[in-house]
Amino acid sequence: MRDDNCIFCKIANGDIPSATIYEDKDFRVILDLGPASKGHALILPKPHFKDLCDADPEIMAKIMPLAGKLGKAMKTGLGASGFNVVQNNGASAGQTVYHLHVHVIPRYEGGPKIVVWTPGKEEVAELEKTAERIKKQL
Ligand code: AMP
Ligand code: ZN
């Protein structure tokens, strides 16, 4: 449930101070120290889960509604016009802190957008093969 070497466990459970914007029995929401934009928030579950594969579905089910509530507050409170919800799993996906967290990043008119990629091209047959490989594991 808790990892003594994990900084987000310490922050989520209040052992290390943080710019907290929301707290309940399952989560603490803090402002990111290296924000992508003004108001960039991190939803930290209080229990320690390494990533989404390791997480409790009951707690995770509450995250999207909370992200929506935070995004709405960023719009009314900060004047954001949109927001991104981002969650990284594993080093190749950019995860740097191995305590599951969800980024809620307010976006402003004229400001940068996140999660930009150059669309590739894939044949339908290849999509079907890829779909099969994932479906077999579900
Ligand atoms: P990720 O790359 O998804 O693992 O995101 C980790 C995020 O945590 C980064 O955006 C960091 O800026 C942020 N971060 C790391 N340490 C702290 C901290 N002590 N307080 C607030 N944010 C932090
Ligand atoms: Zn932790």
**Residue that has been written with the tokens 């077999």 in this structure:** 136
What is the whole-number distance in angstroms between the Cα of residue 101 and the centre of ligand 1? 9
Q: Order of strands, edge to edge, in the sheet holding 27-31?
A: 20-23, 27-31, 41-45, 102-107, 82-86
Residue 34 CB–ligand 1 contact under 6 Å: yes
Residue-wise pLDDT for 20-73, tens only, equals 999 999 999 999 999 999 999 999 999 999 999 999 999 999 999 999 999 999
Is 48 one of the catalytic residues?
no
Residue 87 has pLDDT above 80, yes or no: yes
pTM metric for this prediction: 0.93
For 111, phi and psi rounded to 5 degrees? -85, 175
- Check if the beta carbon of residue 29 is closer than 8 Å to that of residue 40: no
Ligand 1 atom closest to 40 (CA): 10
